[in-house]
Amino acid sequence: MTARRLLLLGPPGAGKGTQAQLLVERYRIPQISTGDMLRAAVAAETEIGIQAKAMMERGDLVPDEVVIGVAEERLAQDDAQRGFILDGFPRTGAQAEALDALLERLGTPLERCVALTLDEEEIVSRLLKRAEIEGRSDDNETAVRHRIAVYQEQTEPLVAHYEAQGILRRVEGTGSVEEVAKRIEEALG
Q: Any contact of residue 19 with ligand AMP (CB under 6 A)?
A: no
Q: Which of 4, 39, 74, 91 is catalytic?
A: 91
Q: How many CA atoms lie within 13 A of 104 on its CB side?
A: 6
Catalytic residue among 58, 130, 169, 170: 130
Contact 59, 146 (CB under 8 A): yes
Q: What track of x and - describes contact with ligand AMP for positions 93 through 112 (by CB under 6 A)? A: --x-----------------
Exactly one of 55, 94, 102, 188 binds ligand AMP (CB under 6 A); that residue is 55
SS3 117: strand
* Length of the chain in terms of residues written: 189
Distance CA(147)–CA(23), nearest Å, equals 25
Please, what is the minimum distance in Å from the beta carbon of residue 14 to ligand AMP?
10
Is 39 noted as a catalytic residue in this protein?
no
Helices (H), 15-140: 16-27, 34-43, 47-58, 64-75, 93-106, 120-134
Is residue 84 a contact point for ligand AMP (CB under 6 A)? no
Q: Report the residue number, 91 or 183, with the smaller CB distance to ligand AMP.
A: 91
**136 included as an active-site residue:** yes
Indicate if 16 belongs to the active site: yes
Kindly state the smallest distance separating residue 4's Cβ from ligand AMP, in Å: 20
Those residues with Cβ within 8 angstroms of residue 105's Cβ, 6 or more apart along the chain or in another chain: none
Catalytic positions are 16, 91, 130, 136, 147
